[in-house]
Amino acid sequence: MSDRPSPQLLELTRCLAGHFNNIAQAMEQPVYFANIHVHHCPLPWSVFDGPGLYLEQHYDVYPDYPYRQGAYRVYETDEGLWLQNYALANRDRFIGACRDLSKVAEMTAADFVQLPGCLSNLVPTETGFHGESIPSKNCRVTRKDRETYLVVKFDITPTRFTSLDRGLDVETDEQVWGSQLGSFEFVKVKDYAERVPRGKVAESF
Q: Within a domain: residue 204?
A: no
82-93: per-residue pLDDT in tens?
Answer: 999 999 999 999
User: Which value, to the nearest 10 degrees, does the dihedral of the CA atoms of residues 169, 174, 175, 180 take?
Assistant: 180
Q: How many domains are there within the chain?
A: 1
Q: What is the pLDDT of residue 172?
A: 94
Q: Within a domain: residue 40?
A: yes
Q: Within a domain: residue 200?
A: no
> For 130, what's the count of Cα atoms within 13 Å in the CB-facing half-sphere?
4
Q: Within a domain: residue 185?
A: yes
Domain harbouring 75, CATH code = 2.40.128.590
Q: Give the torsion sign (CA, 136, 137, 140, 142).
A: positive
Q: Within a domain: residue 160?
A: yes
Per-residue pLDDT band at 205 (split at 50, 70, 90): very low
Q: Within a domain: residue 141?
A: yes
Contact 70, 88 (CB under 8 A): yes
Q: Within a domain: residue 158?
A: yes
Q: Does residue 201 have a pLDDT over 70?
A: no
> How would DSSP label each residue in 62-125?
-TTS-SEEEEEEEEEETTEEEEEEEEES-TGGGTTGGG-HHHHHH--GGGEEEEEEEEEEEEE-
Query: Domain limits at 63?
Result: 7-195
pLDDT average, residue stretch 61-72: 96
Q: Chain-wide mean pLDDT for the chain? A: 94
Give the integer Cα–Cα distance in Å for 139 and 116.
Answer: 6
Contact 150, 167 (CB under 8 A): yes
